[in-house]
Amino acid sequence: VPTTILALQHWKSFSARMKGLPVRVDYINRFRTSAQQTQILKDLKEGKIDILIGTHRLVSKDVVWKDLGLMIIDEEQKFGVNVKDKLKTLRASVDTLTLTATPIPRTLQFSLMGARDLSIISTPPPNRYPVSTMLQPYDEVTIRGAIEYELSRGGQVYFLHDKVKNIEHIADMIRKLVPGARVGVGHGQLEGHKLEEVMLDFIEGNTDVL
């Protein structure tokens, strides 16, 4: 997968799906310590790990598979040229499943040529509720009500603002409107590792409003 956050998300979903089965699922990214990574790579080489999830770290020379049978690549178009070349070498000898929500012309061309089989997931998961969109004038009472309602049902909130320069003022406003809410701030001018930490807090449920 292209990002450390996505690797962690996939690890959580795979672990939940495989719970109770004799399948060991692990992940490797820069959030793991050097000692943890060393142990994971050792277990992988010995065949003790059945499913390993990670970023482009998985195509490094020190990653040795005992018997790699299936490679799943999520959002391949987001990887750099060097990583794509290494993936091409790996996929020559194993079954490969490529996933994307935004197919690019090159990927579609492979499918149209018959070089790749194509499957389309056109329906949402069975428990997915339809999206409800409401357009209303800016009003702090409405904002507070919407946030409080979502938090009361155990949900989380994305609050989108279009200006980085005063985004902290918006965060302070939300804190005043909903004092009990844990508010985080993320934007494109944050350093990469800081933005990942902010996103990770949201994913793990440590932030109510992002």
Per-residue pLDDT of 9-27, as tens digits, reads 889 899 999 999 999 999 9
Per-residue pLDDT of 71-85, as tens digits, reads 888 877 777 777 777
Mean pLDDT of the chain: 87
Would residue 163 count as lying in a domain? yes
Would residue 119 count as lying in a domain? no
Q: What does the alpha-carbon distance between residue 130 and residue 114 come to, in Å, rounded to a whole number? A: 35
What is the distance of C-alpha 132 from the center of its chain?
24
**Do 92 and 161 have their domain in common?**
no
Per-residue pLDDT, 111: 67
Number of domains within the chain: 2
**Do 70 and 23 have their domain in common?**
yes
Q: What does the alpha-carbon distance between residue 190 and residue 199 come to, in Å, rounded to a whole number? A: 12
Would residue 123 count as lying in a domain? no
* pLDDT over 90 at 105, yes or no: no
Predicted TM-score (pTM) of the model is 0.69
Q: What is the 3-state secondary structure (H, E, C) of 124-135?
A: CCCCCCCCCCCC
Task: Specify whether the CB–CB gap between 7 and 58 falls below 8 A.
Answer: no
Residue spans of alpha helices (H) in 57-166:
81-91, 105-113, 140-152
| Between residues 153 and 110, the one the model is more confident about | 153
* pLDDT over 90 at 125, yes or no: no
Tokens 């934007």 correspond to 187
Would residue 121 count as lying in a domain? no
Task: Specify whether the CB–CB gap between 198 and 186 falls below 8 A.
Answer: yes
Would residue 120 count as lying in a domain? no
Q: Domain residues for 66?
A: 4-113
Would residue 209 count as lying in a domain? no
Per-residue pLDDT, 209: 98
51 phi, psi to nearest 5 deg: -130, 120
